[in-house]
A and B are shown apart, each in its own frame.
Chain A
Amino acid sequence: TQLLEQSPQFLSIQEGENLTVYCNSSSVFSSLQWYRQEPGEGPVLLVTVVTGGEVKKLKRLTFQFGDARKDSSLHITAAQPGDTGLYLCAGVDSGTYKYIFGTGTRLKVLA
């Protein structure tokens, strides 16, 4: 079974700081999705990365897929309190065809 390990598990930063969240696996994924979940709500899809080395930007969020398609990162520039939430990476386990979620990174941005 493929696992998606995220780091860090928790992150508390001041408004305006930059941060990077990592999503790692020992296996290759055809694509990875990133979601953000705000307290009391369902996860919302942010982006899908497909091609090895691909970089996608969503305003202050930059997503990168590793060259070998085994890992991904999410970089937030000048974090704002509205970025607070649980960030999840996810993808299809090519062995079981199950959709698996990463362990999650809980981000809190303080004003």
Chain B
Amino acid sequence: DVKVTQSSRYLVKRTGEKVFLECVQDMDHENMFWYRQDPGLGLRLIYFSYDVKMKEKGDIPEGYSVSREKKERFSLILESASTNQTSMYLCASSLPLLAESPTNEQYFGPGTRLTVT
């Protein structure tokens, strides 16, 4: 079974703090993703990585950065946390995404509920 783990289930941070969210997958997947999920807004892609040290901005990268030094680990960094970054953060991994591939499944971690006060 694919397993994606996230470092914390719940996190409370103060405005202005630097926050690190860690994600580890054990299936040797090339792709890793960070999403945030907010009521009424669905899943929004923050950043994704298709290989070690490679990253691409998603739909809402502002205020975030990422790091992928090893294939199995993808970190999301909030440089200076703000209250509007209070959200559920979800990490996912997958094989390379191909438009004609039948194997585009993503595998998610349990999520980190971050509260910034």
| Contacts from A to B (Cβ < 8 Å) | 30-31, 33, 35, 40-45, 48, 50, 88, 90-94, 97-99, 101, 103-104
CB pair B94–A40 under 8 Å, yes or no, is: no
Main secondary structure of the interface of A (DSSP, over half): loop
**Residues of chain B within 8 A of A88, CB atoms compared:** 43
Q: How far is the CB of B73 from chain A (nearest CB, A)?
A: 17
Complex partner residue of B102 from A41, A50, A90, A104, CB under 8 angstroms: A50
A97-B97, A99-B97, A103-B42 are contacts. A31–B104 as well, Cβ < 8 Å? yes
A45-B105, A88-B43, A101-B43 are contacts. A94–B90 as well, Cβ < 8 Å? no
| Contacts from B to A (Cβ < 8 Å) | 4, 33, 42-43, 45, 90, 92, 94, 97-111, 113
**Residues of chain B within 8 A of A40, CB atoms compared:** 111, 113
**Residues of chain A within 8 A of B113, CB atoms compared:** 40
Q: Chain A CB within 10 Å — which of B43, B106, B110 has the most?
A: B43
CB pair A43–B90 under 8 Å, yes or no, is: yes
**Residues of chain A within 8 A of B101, CB atoms compared:** 30-31, 92
**Residues of chain B within 8 A of A97, CB atoms compared:** 97-99
CB pair B100–A44 under 8 Å, yes or no, is: no
**Residues of chain A within 8 A of B99, CB atoms compared:** 30, 92-94, 97
CB pair A92–B108 under 8 Å, yes or no, is: no
A47: nearest residue on chain B (CB-CB)?
B105
10 interchain pairs, CB-CB under 8 A: A30-B101, A30-B104, A31-B101, A31-B103, A33-B104, A45-B107, A48-B103, A91-B104, A94-B99, A97-B99
CA distance A93 to B45 in the complex (A): 14
CB pair A90–B106 under 8 Å, yes or no, is: yes
**Residues of chain A within 8 A of B98, CB atoms compared:** 30, 92, 97
Q: How far is the CB of B114 from chain A (nearest CB, A)?
A: 13
6 tightest Cβ-Cβ pairs between the two chains A and B = A42-B108, A94-B99, A50-B102, A31-B102, A30-B100, A42-B111
Q: How far is the CB of B103 from chain A (nearest CB, A)?
A: 7
